[in-house]
Structure 1
Amino acid sequence: MKTTVDVLVQKYGGTSLQTLDHVRHAAVRIAEARRRGSAVAVVVSARGSRTDDLLRLAADVGAADPSRELDQLLAVGESESAALMALTLNALGVPAVSLTGPQAGVHTTDRHGDALIASIEAVRVREALDRGEVAVVTGFQGVDRAGDIATLGRGGSDTTAVALAARLRASACEIYTDVDGVFSADPRILPAARCLPWVQPGVMAEMAFAGARVLHTRCIELAAMEGVEVRVRNASSQAPGTTVVDREEIRPLETRRAVVAVTHDTDVARVLVHCRDSHRDLAPEVFGVLAASGTVVDLVARSGPYENEFRMGFTIRRSQVDAVRDALHELTARFGGGVHFDENVGKVSVVGMGLLSRPEYTARLMAALAAAGIPTSWISTSQMRLSVIVPRERTVDAVETLHREFHLDRPEPVVTSVRSAIV
């Protein structure tokens, strides 16, 4: 079998491999894809809570911070999954070989715990496919310039799968998880949420950044750049799932629904920075502190040049507060200022296309939340996302309110005329 035949990349997450029955079920699905004529490369995550268990072990010996040795430890989870999957496939009569990230030629940057994929050689993956074998590759890991294992951080296995699909010029990258696809809201908190058959990559990237947990932003950004078709499917069913791809022939017309989904994120903290010296612009130093720790920033606002003091507000992940707390306190104290962290907030976002061009959508969002008695503070608007900060305990209420306000529990309306009204 040569790799000139159709290549399919499948990725199985931790919940899809949690038990041996899950592993066998995934192996059967892989075997079926191979029987249909595809050369199959598989990317696997650590099984179940294996990564969390390893992190707890590291914490128990006082070594929870990212480091070379922690990456050595965490890589065990994916290596176990890959070897177990290859053994299961071979037992089914399907020839398979497991490859670690370094063996598969995944080269990364040098940041332990949050490395980026620099390149994938995939020589041994291609050789395995040419021999008619299934190549089972560990996600979440690669090798840095020093020759050491480096892990990829959040969404690392999804990103590995998409990067491998791009390198192999695969027809698609199928991401198998524990839900039926990408929904109009989190179905775990909102039963009325609908599974979306198709989502544009740009919209999906905004959904991921704003809190949708099905796919990670890095994975979708890479898929969009490389033109990889991503299919999100349930590992436990035959549901068609959601396809994430930019298809010109099915792009929405102006008269179709602009709002696609409502997402939420409770891993959020508001940060307020102030300094009495109105002539001191702390913004470059503040962003330098955040960048040094890899902290993602959203919803930024700041004072202007003619105000009496420097003030700046922004949101970061609540899980990253400890990484920047001391540095921001030290920075602001040097100039007679201070910093305040509010961790009792959530972010709710309406995601779609052309939202900034439709100011009535922002008005509807604010009016709906006000009518529901949900307080709001900061708001950010763009063509693809309207985000608002609400009290953390009202986050789910806000999702339900906006999902209902924008009629996302209803199927996409069929457009029969250019005069059709916007929903």
Structure 2
Amino acid sequence: MSALVQKYGGSSLRTLDHVRRAAERTARSWRDGSAVAVVVSARGSRTDDLLRLAADVGAAGSSRELDQLLAVGESESAALMALALDRLGVPAISLTGPQAGIHTTDRHGDALISRIEALRVRKALDAGRVAVVTGFQGLDGSGDIATLGRGGSDTTAVALAAQLRASACEIYTDVDGVFSADPRILPAARLLPWVSPGVMAEMAFAGARVLHTRCIELAAMEGVEVRVRNASSQSPGTTVVEREDVRPLETRRAVVAVTHDTDVARVLVHCREIRHDLAPDVFAVLADCGTVVDLVARSGPYESEFRMGFTVKRSQAEPVRTALHELTAGFGGGVHFDENVGKVSVVGMGLLSRPEYAARLMAALAGAGIPTSWISTSQMRISVIVPRERTVEAVETLHREFHLDGHEPTDIASARSGIA
């Protein structure tokens, strides 16, 4: 019997009616003959509510006790889902991350899955039961619950699918799949029936909120087919998997999507008349804070002033701000944070090999009167910083420029004409 992993996000379980509908979908898959494991997130705004409770009693930063509290949300979802399945005549068992054999590193609030010993999950599936597993959590080296950070339930689902050698991992959310832009701000955005894991990972990192970056990276490494579907419809959704394309490479669409991210802060570190290279120190600070950076640039080795710029998540800026101020103060330098910015990216394949794409991006934004500052290019992504209040307009402009609301070109002549 082939295994199938289904994951339901918080929006898909928001009310008890949502839970019942999710249970009915799972029941259909079970009755069709699949051995089904389900991974669940906390319902609706439950995690935010728990974070507010922690803040009300003075909690600050990640800790063992905060992870103990946050794990409650997923446990509630798993038990409710198992009860709803039992009501439908489908035998089910709810399992916490530790009960499901999910082990993590020791970093509270942002742990990584180190291994899965899915003995109880396999036992439940072999007995014909649906195993409902809490996402977002596991057991660290000290025997305590550790959470995986926001979006961690996606990673749990893909990791479990890899361990069970499942036929697929179905991610159920509140949109029909992956689009060429965020359909909530751009109604003309086009549903993408298929996306390669590499492109999807770039889209997730650059602001697409459908899937978490870590889960896609894991899916690519483990060869797990991911299907993104709407929990409230029968839409076929989007499949994220490598595939053989029978069409010649030169006629494929190079730009697949436009993404945006307003959770961005632009950081500039500077020190005058310094002989010490601060770059290793700056990166050490960022690593200690667990902060991911993008659009990095720095001064050269023969300049008397050290300057280094990069972007970080605005929501994670405060600990970085404090640590960098402490670092630069010892060298007579300073740090400037600009939080009134957004990042807009075009994502696809072979973008460095097509220098005209960066030129088109910059010309389109300039033609719309949208100021730009920093830009970063790679084979799969071109990102640019714009004023935060112009971010949506920039998405609309680039979506039109690269004709993403139309169909892919079907021959080399149309590809060369710029409809790509």
Same fold (TM over 0.5): yes
The reply on whether 1:197 has 2:196 as its aligned counterpart is: no
Structure 1 range deviating more: 410-419 or 281-290: 410-419
Specify the alignment match of 1:40 in structure 2: 36
Question: For 1:98, which of 71, 94, 98 is the aligned residue?
Answer: 94
Query: Deviations for 1:30-52, whole angstroms, at most 9, x for unmatched residues?
Result: 01111111100000000000000
Specify the alignment match of 1:235 in structure 2: 231
Give SS of 2:251's match: coil
Question: CA RMSD, aligned part only?
Answer: 1.2
Question: For 1:84, which of 80, 83, 88 is the aligned residue?
Answer: 80
Aligned length: 419
Specify the alignment match of 1:414 in structure 2: 410
Are the counterparts in 2 of residues 277 and 335 from structure 1 also a CA contact under 8 Å? Answer: no
Specify the alignment match of 1:254 in structure 2: 250
Are the counterparts in 2 of residues 109 and 145 from structure 1 also a CA contact under 8 Å? Answer: yes
Question: For 2:352, which of 356, 378, 399 is the aligned residue?
Answer: 356
Gaps of 5+ in 2: none
Query: Deviations for 1:196-232, whole angstroms, at most 9, x for unmatched residues?
Result: 0000000000000000000010000000000000000
Correspondences of 1:63-74 after superposition (within 5 Å): 63-74=59-70
Specify the alignment match of 1:144 in structure 2: 140
Question: For 2:380, which of 370, 381, 384 is the aligned residue?
Answer: 384
Residue 415 of structure 1 deviates from its aligned partner by 3.5
Are the counterparts in 1 of residues 371 and 386 from structure 2 also a CA contact under 8 Å? Answer: yes
The reply on whether 1:6 has 2:2 as its aligned counterpart is: yes
- Cα distance 1:128–1:417, how it changes in 2: closer, same or farther (>3 A)? farther
Correspondences of 1:303-314 after superposition (within 5 Å): 303-314=299-310
Correspondences of 1:21-420 after superposition (within 5 Å): 21-249=17-245, 253-415=249-411
CA–CA separation in structure 2 for the residues paired with 1:294 and 1:241 = 33
Q: Share of identical aligned residues, percent? A: 84
Residue 250 of structure 1 deviates from its aligned partner by 5.3
- Cα distance 1:252–1:73, how it changes in 2: closer, same or farther (>3 A)? farther
Query: Deviations for 1:227-263, whole angstroms, at most 9, x for unmatched residues?
Result: 0000000000000000000012457722221000000
Using structure 1 for the length normalisation, give the TM-score.
0.97
Give the residue type in structure 1 aligned to 2:314.
R
Give SS of 2:224's match: coil
CA–CA separation in structure 1 for the residues paired with 2:288 and 2:314 = 17
- Cα distance 1:27–1:60, how it changes in 2: closer, same or farther (>3 A)? same
Give the residue type in structure 2 aligned to 1:411.
H
CA–CA separation in structure 1 for the residues paired with 2:98 and 2:107 = 16
Residue 418 of structure 1 deviates from its aligned partner by 9.7
- Cα distance 1:69–1:106, how it changes in 2: closer, same or farther (>3 A)? same
CA–CA separation in structure 2 for the residues paired with 1:121 and 1:415 = 49
Query: Deviations for 1:328-385, whole angstroms, at most 9, x for unmatched residues?
Result: 0011010011110000000000000000000000000000000000000000000000
CA–CA separation in structure 1 for the residues paired with 2:8 and 2:368 = 40
Give the residue type in structure 2 aligned to 1:58.
A
Give SS of 2:81's match: helix
CA–CA separation in structure 2 for the residues paired with 1:122 and 1:418 = 51
Query: Deviations for 1:35-79, whole angstroms, at most 9, x for unmatched residues?
Result: 111100000000000000000000000013110000000000000
Are the counterparts in 1 of residues 204 and 213 from structure 2 also a CA contact under 8 Å? Answer: yes
Gaps of 5+ in 1: none
- Cα distance 1:251–1:97, how it changes in 2: closer, same or farther (>3 A)? farther
CA–CA separation in structure 2 for the residues paired with 1:250 and 1:208 = 27
Using structure 2 for the length normalisation, give the TM-score.
0.98
Are the counterparts in 1 of residues 274 and 331 from structure 2 also a CA contact under 8 Å? Answer: no
CA–CA separation in structure 2 for the residues paired with 1:41 and 1:307 = 58
